[in-house]
Copies of this chain bind each other. A is one copy, B any other.
């Protein structure tokens, strides 16, 4: 990871600002010979697209992705794939006030301090709009994974909004696409709709917890010590706007467990080792075990709210700021497809890295 690029061999560089002419991702290191279907990319972008219901920003963006390079007759050639999304609904006039005042809890002030100037239109580069480019790149990663590891499946969903968690006993993966929260618990989703609508009307916002699971990940991915699979996932998820914590498997709860409880005991199954539990979240020593890789991350509440908050201006004046504009009351919702995209990119990257170093060699058991 360096500046605006992540990945070791599957390298994604995102570019673009919220209200510039376009944004996108330069995807380098993609294996050749993979069908990269712009319709398939669009499918993933549509999941993240703003304006789909009252719980996401009302900005209307088609988020239409164009492939400018790297494919020939619809197949990847091994050269860089440029994915461009043009911005169409930039109402810069909405952002007049934040040109001079810093939104509390927002990157406005740190961009100003670091760079000496900032593109304040819609948050510029710090806008969650940047994540559209990640989702496009994730679509490429998914296409490659579908060819290289057919059984691999990545699923993101929301498990908590504010203090309200799902009931794991009601977990139903088929529900995820059936509600605006990507919530696997239909009952919780109904409650959340009421809860969030109230918050929104009260000119407030709230945080959330997202979980992303990858099943069918081969054992052996991850490059210890400083490119461990969990370390790279942590960096990837923490790089998403507003994320403040990342957990693998038991996460913070691992602190409360004893060694007797935490041991994922192993038995010999018909196809190799089988674990009796998955406290590890599919990763031991930074390397995948073959179990589900389970990552969670916490998203803080949107900082752009209609309730006045104390802040200062670039001139050093103290003001109370109300942030108008079209903002998500829970930015965590649209983080779900972004988390999936990052998972796809990181897993593919490690698949390539591993076959580079080990050539796919695997230690036999039994």
Contacts and interface: CB of A to CB of B under 8 A. Distances in A.
A266 B303 contact: no
Given A109-B273, A238-B248, A352-B356, A205 B28 contact: no
Contacts of A228: 238-239
A64 interface: no
30 contacts: A3-B28, A3-B29, A3-B225, A5-B28, A9-B357, A15-B81, A17-B72, A31-B359, A32-B116, A72-B118, A77-B115, A105-B259, A106-B284, A110-B220, A111-B285, A112-B363, A115-B358, A130-B225, A162-B255, A208-B255, A234-B235, A244-B280, A246-B246, A255-B300, A259-B301, A262-B301, A263-B303, A266-B310, A268-B318, A352-B357
Given A15-B80, A16-B68, A104 B263 contact: yes
A254 B245 contact: yes
Contact of A238 (B26, B199, B230, B300): B230
A363 B102 CA distance: 13
Interface string A1-43: 1111110110101111100111110101101110000000000
A30 B46 CA distance: 32
How many copies of the chain does the oligomer comprise?
A: 4
A219 B113 contact: yes
Interface in A210-241: 219-228, 230-239, 241
A227 B15 contact: no
Chain A interface size, as a band, is 35 or more
Contacts of A288: 110
Q: Which of A11, A23, A285 has the most CB of B within 10 A?
A: A285
Nearest to A281: B244
A72 B263 CA distance: 27
A250 B209 CA distance: 13
A201 interface: no
A264 interface: yes
A274 to B, nearest CB: 9
Interface string A327-366: 0000010000000000000000000111111110111011
A3 to B, nearest CB: 5
Contacts of A257: 162, 206-207, 300-301
B254 A310 contact: no
A309 interface: yes
B33 A115 contact: yes
A309 to B, nearest CB: 5
Given A14-B80, A249-B244, A109 B359 contact: no
Given A115-B358, A262-B303, A235 B231 contact: yes
Interface in A91-123: 102, 104-107, 109-119, 121
A50 interface: no
